[in-house]
Amino acid sequence: MNFSTGWVFIPKDIPGAEQSEFDDYSFERVSVPHANIRTPHETFDPDMFRFVSWYRKHFRPAEYFRGREVLVEFQGVMTVADVYLNGRLLGHHEGGYTPFAVDLTPALKFDAENILAVHVDSREQKEVPPERAPKMFGYYLFGGIQRDVLLRDVDPLHIERVYYTTAAIQPEAREDAQITVANGRAEPAEGMLVLHLLDANGKEVSSTQSPVHLPAGETRDFKLALEHLRGIELWDVDHPQRYVALRAARQL
């Protein structure tokens, strides 16, 4: 679900702003994507956005979240983010151009208001790319939660992430997938991972599958490959052919 509205913001670092009982009534009401400062054209200072700020959001979890894992997904926070729920630090991320997810389940309260707080450090970060580049990179980074935020609930047994690589395109194409499966359940899981490749019309071009055995509480990578793909039309600007890879997990 979309989690980009209903935030409050203050453009400075305040001790204790991660705590549930912190008084944020005077904070500015904002939605994200959001810039930590508005930059006027006529008096623009390239470093005016380089400061620490806080974002907070009050929410109550849905009843159907019980027994599931609840994650908040940030599509981009510039530049270093510390994510708290009800005063507990649950996640740290560096880099404003990569999305990241934080598991809220360990600190989530049902039948009560929850406070999600994000400490955003937009100061110069020489150790975080691209700022450590030896040359000027020709643009400003700016600051704040500059992309959308989502709230996602999943079964404790779920596909955590998928990473695709195209190993070959001629004379036969090959598409590799590394699929990370997490088993947060209290018992082992037996199942099957299935990978489908569809063309632009939704017609299946190829598929493959692999059995999965995952002990309780473990996370593991599984590798699948779509091989010997003939007749694949390559993408170019004049003929933008598009293929879609779909993955599915079936529990036995």
Query: For residue range 27-68, what is the model confidence (pLDDT) as tens digits?
Result: 999 999 999 998 877 777 878 999 999 999 999 999 999 999
Pair 108, 71 in one domain: yes
Mean pLDDT of 58-80: 96
Average pLDDT, the chain: 93
CATH number of the domain at 244, please. 2.60.40.10
Q: Assess if residue 177 is contained within a domain.
A: yes
Pair 21, 139 in one domain: yes
**Total of domains in the chain:** 2
pLDDT recorded at residue 164: 95
Q: Assess if residue 132 is contained within a domain.
A: yes
Among candidate residues 103, 136, 154, the one where a domain is terminated:
154
pLDDT recorded at residue 43: 75
Pair 134, 187 in one domain: no
Pair 64, 78 in one domain: yes
Pair 181, 130 in one domain: no
Pair 140, 186 in one domain: no
Edge-to-edge strands of the sheet including 204-214? 204-214, 189-198, 244-251
Range scoring the smallest mean pLDDT among 21-30, 33-42, 160-169, 173-182: 33-42
Pair 182, 213 in one domain: yes
Quote the domain boundaries for residue 203. Answer: 157-251
Range scoring the smallest mean pLDDT among 42-51, 101-110, 180-189, 199-208: 42-51
Strands 204-214 and 7-10, bridge-based pairing: unpaired
Pair 136, 188 in one domain: no
Q: Assess if residue 115 is contained within a domain.
A: yes
Pair 168, 147 in one domain: no
Q: Assess if residue 221 is contained within a domain.
A: yes
Q: Assess if residue 210 is contained within a domain.
A: yes
Is residue 201 pLDDT above 70, yes or no?
A: yes
Among candidate residues 130, 154, 178, the one where a domain is terminated:
154
Pair 164, 101 in one domain: no
pLDDT interval class at 226 (50, 70, 90) = very high
Is residue 206 pLDDT above 70, yes or no?
A: yes
Strands 149-154 and 52-59, bridge-based pairing: unpaired
Q: Assess if residue 193 is contained within a domain.
A: yes
Q: Assess if residue 2 is contained within a domain.
A: no
Is residue 241 pLDDT above 80, yes or no?
A: yes
Among candidate residues 154, 171, 190, the one where a domain is terminated:
154
Range scoring the smallest mean pLDDT among 22-31, 44-53, 85-94: 44-53
pLDDT interval class at 88 (50, 70, 90) = very high
Q: Assess if residue 1 is contained within a domain.
A: no
Is residue 133 pLDDT above 90, yes or no?
A: no
pLDDT recorded at residue 252: 64
Pair 188, 143 in one domain: no
pLDDT interval class at 143 (50, 70, 90) = very high
CATH number of the domain at 95, please. 2.60.120.260
pLDDT interval class at 207 (50, 70, 90) = very high
Rounded CA gap, 89 and 81, in Å?
Answer: 11
Pair 176, 63 in one domain: no
pLDDT recorded at residue 248: 79
pTM for the full predicted model: 0.85
In percent, the amount of the chain with pLDDT more than 90 equals: 82
Is residue 136 pLDDT above 70, yes or no?
A: no
pLDDT interval class at 231 (50, 70, 90) = confident
The more confidently predicted of residues 94 and 46 is: 94
